Amino acid sequence: MAVNDQPNAGVGSGGVRQRSRASIERRILEAAESVFAEAGFNGATTAEIARRAAIPKANLHYYFNTKEELYQQVLTGIVSTWLHTADEITADADPARALAHYITAKIELAREQPIPSRVFANEIIHGAPHLGSYLGTELRAWVDAKAKVIRGWIAAGKMREIDPKHLLFMIWASTQTYADFASQISAVLGKEQLSPQDYKAVARQVTEIILRGCGLTPPAQ
């Protein structure tokens, strides 16, 4: 029997165990997230993850058979979080408002959840060896769909003619740099970390530059 089969599956009264299992798995995943972000997949050790989760290493391997499986779950969690950040980019939306909302949301995410972002960035930098076909299938389809929306905006004369996909890459880069390269930005600015006001100013400036660059007028603050 596989050690990770759902215990008490379908048992209505068996809630305590399930809650406990979910709780400890979440604790392990959070610990893993931070260790993977700091050291990458290769540098991360199950011992360190177990230490941060405050459990013996053998117990960690009871919940997650291999380090690879743990890493996969972390990546999956990040990806599923990210898929719905651009929901406002739709055919009938106002381009300026939709893009401004997207950029602001991405900067917010960089501020609130920099750690998963770094795990993902690390994975991409090393050629995405653990992501399987995700980039070329799901993410590609997502980008194709959003690009189609933006091309629709352009065709309707709502914005200047630009390449939609490279615009998306530019938005990703300009926003995620505040999560992925935070150590560089902090050091260069001489600040331990950016304040909420800093992030707000960043969101405003990035939004302004990109919208004006697309021939749009940024919405009033």
Window of 18-26, 142-150, 194-202, 211-219 that interacts with DNA by CB under 7 A? 18-26
| C-beta contacts of 44-49 below 8 A and 24+ residues apart | 44/71, 46/70
Among 29, 38, 55, 130, binds DNA (CB under 7 A): 55
* Residue for token pair 């331990």: 192
Q: Least distance from C-beta 59 to its own copies, angstroms?
A: 24
Quick one: tokens of 106? 């991405």
Q: Of 52, 53, 47, nearest to 67 (Cα)? A: 47
Alpha carbon dihedral 100, 104, 190, 179, in 10-degree steps, equals -120
The contact set with its own copies (CB under 8 A) reads 37-43, 118, 121-122, 124-128, 135-136, 139-140, 143, 162-163, 165-167, 169-170, 172-174, 176-178, 180-181, 183-185, 187-190, 201-202, 205-206, 208-215
Q: Least distance from C-beta 79 to DNA, angstroms?
A: 21
CA–CA separation, 79 and 67 (whole Å): 18
Among 27, 51, 61, 200, binds DNA (CB under 7 A): 61
Query: Which residue number, 10 or 157, has a Cβ lying nearer to its own copies?
Result: 157
